[in-house]
Amino acid sequence: MTARQPGVALVTAQVGTASAMWTVVRRDLKSSFRQRQDLLNPLLFFFMVVTLFPLGVSPEVSFLQRSGSGILWVAALLATLLSLDHLFRHDFDDGTLEQMVLQPQPLFLLVLAKTLAHWLVTGLPLILLAPVLGIMLHLEGNSIAVLCLTLLIGTPVLSLIGAIGAALTLGLRAGGVLLSLLIIPLYIPVLIFGTGTVAAAADGTPVGGYLALMAAFLVLAITLAPFAAAAALRISLSNS
Amino acid sequence: MWQFFHKLGSPKWFYGIANRFMPWLFWLGLALLLGGLVWGLAFAPKDYLQGNSYRIIFIHVPSAFLAQSVYVMMAVAGVVTLVWRMKLADLFVKAAAPVGAVLTFLALFTGAVWGKPTWGTWWIWDARLTSMLILLFLYLGVVFLGSAISDEKSSARAVAVLVLVGVVNIPIIKYSVEWWNTLHQPATFKLTEKPSMPAEMWVPLLLSVLGLYLLFGWLACLRMQTEILIRERRTRWVKDFVSTGGH
């Protein structure tokens, strides 16, 4: 028994960063699929917000064609915002997060892995649902394709920025409302360029520049946001 | 040099030193601001196109100018908070954020008042205006996050992270008038060029900008002093200080 002990320690120390990240992603996916309600909520919310616009503003085809991409983007943004609370909440409540902070692997990479898992269960389904809603809003085929592309680049940015806000407001009583106040200002640039791209595509102007800028947002968010979110997590954990 | 740096970490030392230069900040700032405003509002020549309505820039430009640079100052203080854990830096962020929010609101409000006769509309979703609105939200976020976290140290560091994340907005505001074709005109002052206005207009404007800077410094010091007294209320020097009536 005592002879085996160092061996065990050696094995745990040898868990590579990549496999630790992979474990986190797999674990988060598994736990989300065991709570299907949480998985479906943002999607249903996305659908319902989009439904409100034709009913509340105008069901005219010309209006929907003009503002459909904006409606879809705003709805996707709100749906992401709604789901952010779950990003760290469960792990925070049951203490898993503290164990993650204590791991030898860098925390920002684990945060990146958690954010990736979050995007896979919230962002990706939104993108898959978007073409259906696009057709319901009478968007043209080309616009729908560009819209999905912008959502594909943009929703990971939303998840990454959102991770910072979720980490900062972790464990606060008025966390949910505060989270929207902190995060929406930072979402606005992504929204502007996301809908700008689709508008440019609808006008028949080249969209390469817009897409490059959005990709730049994504690169910036992937490289910087996990650091900020990891720092915020440490602060929130030391607070509780 | 290093001694000075270490002293900066002491709220008590700051309290004393602030007392010494606050009257200067206040009276000099007030004189410059009033001088600039009276000169600008009453004596500066009329604009040949806009008539008298342009005179609101003597309030609009200083507040907009300061709204942005206060955020940059807060970001610098945020770095200091995170790296050196200096109490004074956090005191500054907490003291400056509400003032910054008010200045941003003032800039937006005066801009709207000026926009109505000049552009024919109170508000337009132009890049400069929208990014200033985002700045207002950022300030409010900083204020609310700071007050939502009760633990002093955590609150300081969380706010610092938020301020640093939000700093991406500052270059967007600054260059929005150059990157996009906006209705808002380009910057009034540039370090590298002479202003495009006659001296009778830009000198009073510069005076009011400087005056508002000094007054902001005074107000920030005052708010920091108040916060220091609250935070250090259990220490001996604050008790002595209060019992002697503040002398």
Q: Cα(A229)–Cα(A100) distance, rounded to whole angstroms?
A: 13
Q: How far apart are CA B241 and CA B247, in angstroms?
A: 7
Give domain status of residue B114, yes or no: yes
The answer to the question of residue B79 being in a domain is yes
Determine contact, residues B104/B139, Cβ cutoff 8 Å.
Answer: yes
Q: Please count the structural domains in chain B.
A: 1
* Mean pLDDT value across residues A12-35: 85
At residue B189, the pLDDT reads 65
- B123-146 pLDDT, tens per residue? 888 778 888 899 999 999 999 998
- In chain A, what residues touch B97 (CB-CB under 8 Å)? none
Residue of chain B minimizing CA distance to A192: B127
- The ipTM is 0.81
- Indicate whether B181 belongs to any domain: yes
pLDDT at B197: 72
Q: B180 and B127 in contact (C-beta within 8 Å)? A: yes
Task: Test B144 with A168 for CB contact under 8 angstroms.
Answer: no
Give CA torsion, residues B72, B73, B75, B76, to 10 deg.
Answer: 120
Q: Is the pLDDT at B192 greater than 90, yes or no?
A: no
Domain extent at residue B165: 12-44+51-187+196-243
Q: Looking at residue B17, what is its pLDDT?
A: 84
Which residues of A lie inside 8 Å of B (Cβ-Cβ)? 161, 164, 168-169, 172-174, 178, 181-182, 184-186, 188-189, 228, 231-232, 235-236, 238-239
Contact check, Cβ <8 Å, B149/A239 = yes
> How far, rounded to the nearest angstrom, does the alpha carbon of residue A129 sit from its chain's CA centroid?
15
Q: Find chain B residues with C-beta within 8 A of A178's C-beta.
A: 141, 144-145, 148
Residues with Cβ < 8 Å from A126, sequence gap 6 or more?
A: A42, A43, A46, A76, A79, A80, A151, A155
User: Could A228 and B134 be called an inter-chain contact, meaning their C-beta atoms sit closer than 8 Å?
Assistant: no
Q: Give the tokens for residue A177.
A: 């409302």
Residue in A169, A178, A185 closest to B138 by CB: A185
pLDDT score for B101: 96
Q: Write the pLDDT tens digit of every residue in A142-191.
A: 999 999 999 999 999 999 999 999 999 987 877 778 899 999 999 988 99
Tell me which residues of chain B have a C-beta less than 8 Å from any C-beta of chain A. Answer: 82, 130, 134, 137-138, 140-141, 144-145, 148-149, 151, 153-154, 157-158, 161-162, 164-166, 168-169, 172
- d(C-alpha A22, C-alpha A24), whole Å: 5
Q: Say yes or no to pLDDT of B234 above 90.
A: no
Shortest CA distance to B67 belongs to which of B216, B221, B219?
B216
Give pLDDT, residue A238. 85
Alpha carbon distance B3, B1 (integer Å): 5
Is A26 a residue whose pLDDT tops 90? yes
Q: What is the pLDDT of residues B55-81, one digit of tens each?
A: 888 889 899 999 999 999 999 999 999
Average pLDDT of chain B to the nearest whole number: 85
Give the list of residues 6+ apart from residue B80 with CB closer than 8 angstroms, or none: B86, B89
pLDDT bin (cut points 50, 70, 90) of residue A1 is very low
